[in-house]
Every structure is written in structure tokens, then in C-alpha cells.
Amino acid sequence: MGKTYFECNECGYRSSKWYGRCPSCGSYNTLEECVAKKSDSTFTAATLKRENRSAALDELEIPDYLRIGSGMSEFDRVLGGGLVSGSAVLISGEPGIGKSTLLMQLCGAVGNDETVLYVSGEESGGQLKLRAKRLGVRAEKLYVLNETQIENILAEIDEVTPSIVIVDSIQTVYSADVQSATGSVTQVRECSMRFINKAKSEGFSVILVGHVNKEGGIAGPKVLEHMVDAVLYFEGERQHAYRIIRAVKNRYGSTNEIGVFEMTEAGLCQVPNPSEALLRERPKNVSGSCAVCVMEGSRPLITEIQALVSPTVFPSPKRSANGFDYNRLCMLLAVLEKRLGLHFSQNDIYINVTGGLQLDEPAADLAVALALVSGILDRALPDNLIAIGEIGLSGECRSVSAVEQRVNEVARLGFGRLVLPEHNSKKLADRHLSAFKDIELHPVKNLFSAIRIKDMFAPKPESKEE
């Protein structure tokens, strides 16, 4: 029996004695008793080879990575072109968001050409068969393994020799060599390292599914995110149909790409044109509505911002922002009151971004401000108008990035009027873009010039007496 110690299953803190509250992360009742191995070091002096010597940078060759297409263009976009052989990918998301559905459809897309081993520690083979039948997945080279001990899983990998290994989930896998509970920090770290070393040495791709904790981060040790080559978050509200895959780390591609899916009865469907889907049910001639073009990575997305301004009956008015930063909304309200003299302090304010998107980009400020002005005046903005721009504390309209991609997306969807910062307009005028032919540009310096644009707001409807 080796020496015992206590380890926190939240942050990995080790101590020689037990604490009710972890001194490192502050979590309660998370220290578990573990038995130390004789040697925690994987590498010893006997295993190190002297032929591994340093080399000059100019002598090194750039490797030609072999990528395996997943058959799902939205998924490949996030990965940078497909799964890289010998890479490790970590996918995380809220329970029930659709991670297992996505991976089963991935198996169906590549399972006829590449050998795939699906390791499930949470579901039985019958459950996976039912899901595959519901999704219409038929793959000749798809193998399913219900196992949680990593020694048996690695032995099965040697037998099947797959090109892709999917582990759902890494928190359910344990090693018999580690005297710790399944799902603990030690088990997750040890099992992940063995999967990654196996994948890199034999050249297959491994996809690890990770749980999330109460704060929304990936459960387990933080070092897990450093060990893998790519970390993907599967985001979206279960009440909404749209799901977004976002890369927060990618050694073989950009971290600025997103993939958009729609959850249907037949599984996840790719949304190659998310702007049209987000604007499909937009109402016409309604006050408090303004379209905006934001950048999600290198992809421009056009969505609708809705603002509802209603007189309050309470001493303290309510402020609510769904999909938009609450503190930024308060700042914009203060700017509109100070610079334009609009009395929002006497009204309840509700902001909503359609489609369940989270707009973190300052380029949405101008559209939010125009929607708020439209809401308090109860006068609709033109349906073919779209606004982009950042608002400063003095009410000035600041320039935004990637304006060419935004203009091309605006023209493609048929918007006829574009309100944008004056600085961006001057730069675009020198480039003579063909997209400008059918768009009426309205360059603005500040909020006051924006609301003074001719025909910006529709006239108030006259009340008709019956």
C-alpha cells in the first residue's frame, strides 16, 4: 500500500491531510483520499533516447497534415478543414445540447470510408442503436464499444485499428492503475494523456467528450484543455433550434470560425446560410426592430435586434437584455438620455436578439441604439435598413472591422439601405465595391446625424375613429 494523500476533484489541489474546504478553489467536500503510486513520472532516464537532439529551425520541415473530412462542412469549417490524423479534439457542452447526436451523425458521414470506434461509457449498445436508427445512420465500418476501463479500450483499439476514436465521455473512463474515483481530476488527466499519446503514436484521431461544471466550463483539470489540439464548445439554448460550434483553441486552424446547426426531429441539420434563417420570421413595419450585421469569426451574420420600451408603473424601471451585454445596454441608455434627451429612465427596457445569439461585438451598438429610439418613439424603421457601428460615450459613431465582408452579406440578402460610420464609408468609397451599386449608404458621425437621416422613421399612424 502506497502513501495516501488527498486531492481536490475540482482543481487538483493535493494535501497530506483532509480539509472540508479546498484551500485552492474554495469548493466544499471535494478532497478525496488517493493512494500515491511508486513513481508518478512517466518518463525515466532509461526511456529517454539520446537520438532526440535539438535541430536548427531552418533545417526543420513543415509537415503535411493529413485531414479526414467529416462530411459535415460546418464541422469541418470549425476544425480548419477536417480532422487531422494524430490529433486530439475535446468537445464540451451543456447536457442535452446535442453532443452525442452530432457525433453519431459524424459516424454516419465517415463510417463507410473510415474505420470509427465509438466508445460509450454512458449509454448501452441498444441505446446507441436506437439513436442511429432515428438519425438514419448506416455505417459499415462503425464499431461500438461499451467499456469504461482504459486498459480494455486501448486493447480494443489495437484490435480494430480505427482512423477515428470517439470517447463519450472522458469523465466515465478510469484506469485500474490509479487509486482514485472515476471522474476525479487524477483519473481524467491520466486517461486523457494515455488516449492522446496513443493517438499521436499510431496516427488516429481521437475525439473526447467532456462534461461541463456549474460555472459552464469544462469539468476536470484545466490541464486537459492544454493537452488536446482543439477545444470545441457546443453552444445554444435547448429552447431554441439553433446550435453553434465554436473553437476556443485550435492548433491546426483558426479559432475565429463557427459552425451553425439546427436541431430537428431528424437530428442536426447544417445551416450554410444562417443569416436567411435568422431573418426568416422577422415582422414588417414594427417599431423597435433593427437589423445588424455582426462577425462570428470570418463569417458575417445578419440578425434582428428587438427593443421594447414601455412606461413603467414602478419607481425603479426594469432593464432586461437577452443576447446582449446588460452593462453595455445601460451605457447606451445613458448616452441616449444625455446626448439626445430621450427619457428612458421612465420606461421599462427589454432587448432581445433573435435566434438565441449572443452579441459581444461593439459593432451592434448602433443597431441597438436605433431600435431603442424606434421603440420609445413608437415609429418603425425601414424594413430594408441595416445598421453597424460602435457608439462612444460622447455619442460618436466609431468604425468597425471587416466592413467589406459585412457589405457583401448585406447586398446578398437584398438590404437597400446601410447606416455605417463615416470613417468606414470613406475607405469603402475608394475601393469601388460592386456591392455598392444596389445599396444606399448613410455615413454618420454620431447618433444625432443617424436619427436625422431622411425617412429614417416611419410617421406615426393616425388613429381612425370608427
How would DSSP label each residue in 48-112? --TT-----GGG-------EE--S-HHHHHHHTSSEETT-EEEEEE-TTSSHHHHHHHHHHHHTT
With a cut of 70, say whether residue 27 has pLDDT above it.
yes
**In this predicted structure, what is the pLDDT of residue 266?**
85
- Beta carbons of 117 and 158 less than 8 angstroms apart: no
Q: What is the pLDDT of residues 398-456, one digit of tens each?
A: 999 988 889 888 988 889 999 999 999 887 776 666 556 778 889 999 999 999 998 89
With a cut of 90, say whether residue 195 has pLDDT above it.
yes
**In this predicted structure, what is the pLDDT of residue 297?**
76
With a cut of 60, say whether residue 465 has pLDDT above it.
no
- The mean pLDDT of 336-351, rounded to a whole number, is 94
- % the chain with pLDDT above 90: 50
Q: What is the pLDDT of residues 300-318, one digit of tens each?
A: 999 999 999 999 988 899 9
Positions of E strands within 329-382: 347-353
Comparing C-alpha atoms, which of 219, 244, 245 is closest to residue 230? Answer: 245
Secondary structure (3-state) at 399: coil
The C-alpha cell that represents 409 in the structure block: 452579406
- The mean pLDDT of 6-14, rounded to a whole number, is 79
Please tell me the number of Cα atoms within 13 Å of 395 on its side-chain side: 16
User: Higher model confidence: residue 12 or residue 404?
Assistant: 404
With a cut of 80, say whether residue 67 has pLDDT above it.
yes
pTM value is 0.75
SS3 letters across 161-225: CCCEEEEECHHHCECCCCECCCCCHHHHHHHHHHHHHHHHHHCCEEEEEECECCCCCECCCCHHH
Confidence label for 50 from pLDDT (cuts 50, 70 and 90): low
With a cut of 50, say whether residue 241 has pLDDT above it.
yes
With a cut of 50, say whether residue 464 has pLDDT above it.
no
- Beta carbons of 203 and 85 less than 8 angstroms apart: yes
Beta bridge partners of 413: none
The C-alpha cell that represents 162 in the structure block: 480505427
User: Higher model confidence: residue 74 or residue 217?
Assistant: 74
What's the CA gap between 351 and 173, in Å, rounded?
Answer: 43
The C-alpha cell that represents 252 in the structure block: 491546426
Secondary structure (3-state) at 317: coil
What's the CA gap between 348 and 339, in Å, rounded?
Answer: 20
**In this predicted structure, what is the pLDDT of residue 155?**
95
Classify the C-alpha dihedral 298-304-310-312 as positive or negative: negative
What's the CA gap between 35 and 12, in Å, rounded?
Answer: 14
Query: Going by C-beta distance under 8 Å and a sequence separation of 6 or more, which residues neighbour residue 385?
Result: 290, 291, 415, 416, 417, 418, 419, 456
Comparing C-alpha atoms, which of 239, 203, 207 is closest to residue 354? Answer: 239
The C-alpha cell that represents 305 in the structure block: 435586434
What's the CA gap between 105 and 220, in Å, rounded?
Answer: 26
- The mean pLDDT of 219-223, rounded to a whole number, is 66
- Beta carbons of 118 and 143 less than 8 angstroms apart: yes
What's the CA gap between 305 and 288, in Å, rounded?
Answer: 8
**In this predicted structure, what is the pLDDT of residue 466?**
39
What's the CA gap between 39 and 16, in Å, rounded?
Answer: 17
- % the chain with pLDDT above 70: 90
**In this predicted structure, what is the pLDDT of residue 255?**
82
Comparing C-alpha atoms, which of 176, 193, 172 is closest to residue 184? Answer: 172
Secondary structure (3-state) at 303: strand
Across 169-173, 213-217, 327-331, the highest mean pLDDT is recorded for 327-331
Q: Which of 19-28, 209-218, 327-336 has the lowest mean pLDDT?
A: 209-218
Confidence label for 356 from pLDDT (cuts 50, 70 and 90): confident
Q: What is the pLDDT of residues 361-401, one digit of tens each?
A: 999 999 999 999 999 999 999 999 999 999 999 999 999 99
User: Higher model confidence: residue 30 or residue 103?
Assistant: 103
- From the number of C-beta atoms within 10 Å of its C-beta (0-12, 13-18, 19+), residue 462 rates as exposed
Q: Can you give the length of the chain in residues?
A: 466
Q: What is the mean pLDDT of the chain?
A: 87
- The mean pLDDT of 235-251, rounded to a whole number, is 83
With a cut of 60, say whether residue 353 has pLDDT above it.
yes
